Amino acid sequence: MVLAVGLSAALAACGSDDGGSGNGGDHAGHKGAPKLSVSGAYVSQPPMDDMAAGYLTVRNAGGGADELTSVTTPLASEVTLHTTKGTRMKQVSSLDVPADGRLELTSGGDHLMLTNLTHRPKVGEKVSFTLHFATSDPIEIKVPVEPTTYRPKD
């Protein structure tokens, strides 16, 4: 319940106008639907055989917020969502994708941890990911494996 109240407050405070016709009275949850796209996704070639990290950006061009709730891939039996505050990494159950904003998973920041790998991926290999969200349909992407030292230009 606290999450719903917090989400409603965040949506109301956002103040975005999606240009649609609304009923004017309900500002809590009807600002529009999320419109998600994914870019810049990659997996760092893991130094170990059993664990890797994944990075990507989820852009939301819609007026409604969403949450990344899980990620699945044939490469790993488990993918967990991690947030980083300072030097502390913590597993979380979801990551916010703000309305008219983005969720950035970056090296040194929030990221995906892939554990119990089926094999150690090689640079140039493509890995399938399916991103699952609280309200939006799943998004399937092909993710390149990059060298451990790779840093996106963006």
CATH (domain of 90):
2.60.40.1890
- From residue 100, alpha-carbon distances to 26, 61, 77, 113 in Å are 19, 5, 32, 26
Specify the pLDDT at position 154. 59
Q: Is residue 93 part of a domain?
A: yes
Structure tokens at 91: 């597993």
Q: Report the alpha-carbon distance of residue 43 to residue 39 in Å, rounded.
A: 13
Q: Is the pLDDT of residue 9 over 60?
A: no
Q: Mention every residue, 6+ apart, whose C-beta is less than 8 A from residue 142.
A: 126, 127, 128, 129
Q: Is residue 25 part of a domain?
A: no
Q: Is residue 24 part of a domain?
A: no
pTM score, two decimals? 0.78
Q: Which residue in the block uniquely carries the two structure tokens 């890797």?
A: 52
pLDDT tens-place string over residues 92-136: 999 999 999 999 999 989 999 999 999 999 999 999 999 999 999
Question: Please, which pLDDT band fits residue 18 given cuts at 50, 70 and 90?
Answer: very low
Domain count within the chain: 1
Residue 93's domain spans which residues? 36-145
Q: Is residue 100 part of a domain?
A: yes
Q: Is residue 64 part of a domain?
A: yes
